[in-house]
Amino acid sequence: MSVDAVFLKGMYFVRTLRSPVRSGRLLSIDCPVLPEGYCLIRAKDIPGRNVLAGAFAGPDTDFNPAFSHPILAETEILYEGQPAALLVGPDEAEIAKLEDSILVNCVDAGEAGETDAPLRVYAERNITVETDAKAAKSSHAAKAAGDIYDGEDTPPRQVRLIETYHTTPDAEHNAPECTGAVAFFEGARCVIHTASQWPRHVRRSAAGMLNIDEAHVEIMREPPGVHFDAKVWYPSLIAAQAALAAFITKKPVKFMLSREEERRYSPRRAASEIQIRSALDEEGRIVETGIDIEADLGACGFFADEIIDQMALASLGLYRLGTVTLRARAVGTASVPKGAFSGFGMAQGFFAIERHITRVVDEARVSPLEWKLERAIVKQGGGPVKLPIGIMLQKPLSLHAVINKVCAQTDFARKWAAYDLSRRRGYAWEYARERVQEHVQEYPDECLEHLIVDKLSPVRGIGLAVAYQGTGLLYRTGGDPLSEPNVSLLPLPDKEAAMSEIRYQSDPVQNWAGRTCDQKTFSHPALCAAVIEVEIEKVEYKPQVRCIRLCVEGGKILSVQDARNTLTICGIAALAWAQGKREVPNIKDVPNIEIDFIPSGSDRVCGLEELAFSTIPAAYASAVSQALNISFDSLPIRPVEIWRALRPESGENGEKGGNGKEGEA
């Protein structure tokens, strides 16, 4: 049963009064005399702590600043739309009318002479790792990758530099049901109905806010459904507000966000900016790589350490990159909180490194299949494998098997060669313009472009991307971590105890912040290779996906059908993210996603749901880039981005016409 379907006799309803400014201070809330049965609840009415519970259990860590979101704003405004007060009453229509008569008075930070949208740094990483001992011997040919040839020095002639810049925007989640909660009291016991992936956090947040023992809070967990993913910490905020309203009014309370509120104020995917610079020797081998990452987490910085660690880890990919110097930081701005969204940042990291490697492959003029098999961190035939972060895998990595199978099933090698030959022969915008202009002189320039697109046949491209996913429970948010059995996640015999504490049980990078890496999380990774083929008709510039195929090695699969369903649903959402669609399309409106599983012989259950987000966007960008002979290195890739890249002033006839950057010495 969904939360919205819960109904109790005498139920009251809630509307949120929100901050109208992005950052600043709350001065006052002007409220007229309300009718009997209606009340306005402010921060001063909270009997306990006006903050969500910390990420860790225990008295010393309950006030973890990474989870410092207030239940209701007191003085400081962190972002536009932050809850400032709750209007509660028995009739929803009357509440809506009364809401218009209440004024939330805030002073904008800019008007107060303060800095608008201050930048806060929640987590930083600075590391150097060696991913290729052989390349390290020749690394004298390039300087440290972190400051590769900043213009003061001239690189050796044999060194070529490839530099790419990748951005992924924040994104709305696609929950079929808005976030909500129903709360009521049975004596001293508070009962809360909510759909949350983290019911333990709901209990602790409500108990702390009410200043009661956790044993007096009972969570009736409703199915969160396929949510992508505002159901980690955000239900704790809504549930705590509903519980506060029930405590004040002594009535059962239902609090459901409207669809507009859900769209504007619920958590979003963390935005990212990733710059990668690689130095190639005369043989085309990467000898040094510099990676700079900035993740925008909005206000509060939920899961900042986890997100920046996983984003950095994924940006190393599965390839030998020589000596890697990596700088990463998670920052906060005066915007809606961002963070966990079908994963904790690995999708952004894998997108960046896969697109960068595609540019390196283009420079080398070889097949991406050939390059990736040769430059993978594991050699053909298996054997001991160590990830770039130093974790020794406890089983052979089936990377070659996964890549070879998906490429064989899609005829990737032949199609890639054919499409690549077509684009290099001149199926670019400038060539087409000149060809048409030779025969049609009477058309004015403003009409010529429309004629050109009508004369051109559709072009095609095909892309390949690979990624892996660990098994740590903390980092899995694409599925439902407390349901069992769940093919995507580890089986949990004691569901409540398994989420009783969120700890750094799986730190993916050793010694980045003085913590010890849990080797188990990534010692049995799930692998995925994705191939996407697109066709672009040059009228609307809307890429049509002709084929999506995934090959997965995911350990022990408890239910193949459930695994296919999980990957299919996540694959559709991942494609929508890459295409910039606000709504996930109906499954009938997307091409069939073919999924193959490779037996691993392992009894360990691996996570699967994040694999689609880590591979499909990169493969899609590679396919579109090949079709148009323009490198698209950022998301989303919509028809408008394609149109702009094809304009003459964008440098359309070549690989520099997209949204990436390239340098060569």
pLDDT tens string 294-318: 999 999 888 888 888 889 989 999 9
SS3 for 278? strand
Q: d(Cα 508, Cα 381) in Å, to the nearest integer?
A: 26
The predicted pLDDT at position 588 comes to 67
Task: Flag whether pLDDT at 450 surpasses 60.
Answer: no
Q: What would the mean pLDDT of 329-334 be, rounded to a whole number?
A: 92
Answer with the residue of higher pLDDT: 435 or 39: 39
pLDDT band of 142, cuts 50, 70, 90: very low
Most confident of 99-103, 131-135, 344-348: 99-103
pLDDT tens string 241-298: 999 999 999 999 999 999 899 989 999 889 999 999 999 988 888 999 999 999 999 9
Q: What is the DSSP letter of 109?
A: T
Task: Pick the range with the lowest mean pLDDT from 65-74, 152-161, 182-191, 334-343.
Answer: 152-161
Answer with the residue of higher pLDDT: 420 or 226: 420
The predicted pLDDT at position 650 comes to 45
Answer with the residue of higher pLDDT: 340 or 478: 340
Task: Flag whether pLDDT at 237 surpasses 80.
Answer: yes
The predicted pLDDT at position 39 comes to 97
pLDDT tens string 595-651: 999 987 777 777 787 899 999 999 999 999 999 889 999 999 998 889 888 875 544
The predicted pLDDT at position 656 comes to 43
The predicted pLDDT at position 190 comes to 97
The predicted pLDDT at position 61 comes to 39
**Comparing C-alpha atoms, which of 214, 242, 164 is closest to residue 3?**
242
* Percent of all residues in the chain with a pLDDT value above 90, rounded to a whole number: 45
Q: d(Cα 194, Cα 6) in Å, to the nearest integer?
A: 10
The predicted pLDDT at position 282 comes to 82
Most confident of 110-114, 340-344, 590-594: 590-594
The predicted pLDDT at position 300 comes to 87
Q: d(Cα 656, Cα 634) in Å, to the nearest integer?
A: 13
Four-CA torsion 402, 407, 413, 416, nearest 10 degrees? -110
pLDDT averaged over every residue in the chain: 79
Q: Which residues lie below 8 Å from residue 541, measured CB to CB, with a gap of 6+?
A: 639, 642, 643, 646
The predicted pLDDT at position 504 comes to 31
pLDDT band of 471, cuts 50, 70, 90: low
Answer with the residue of higher pLDDT: 188 or 496: 188
The predicted pLDDT at position 76 comes to 92
Task: Flag whether pLDDT at 543 surpasses 50.
Answer: yes
Structure tokens given for 90: 């028995």
Beta strands in 321-415 (DSSP E): 323-332, 338-339
pLDDT band of 136, cuts 50, 70, 90: low
**Comparing C-alpha atoms, which of 167, 129, 184, 158 is closest to residue 294?**
167
pLDDT band of 555, cuts 50, 70, 90: confident
Task: Flag whether pLDDT at 539 surpasses 90.
Answer: no
Task: Pick the range with the lowest mean pLDDT from 322-326, 333-337, 552-556.
Answer: 552-556
Structure tokens given for 213: 């023992």
Element (H, E) at 289: strand 286-296
Beta strands in 131-259 (DSSP E): 160-168, 180-186, 189-194, 217-221, 253-256
Q: d(Cα 60, Cα 466) in Å, to the nearest integer?
A: 41
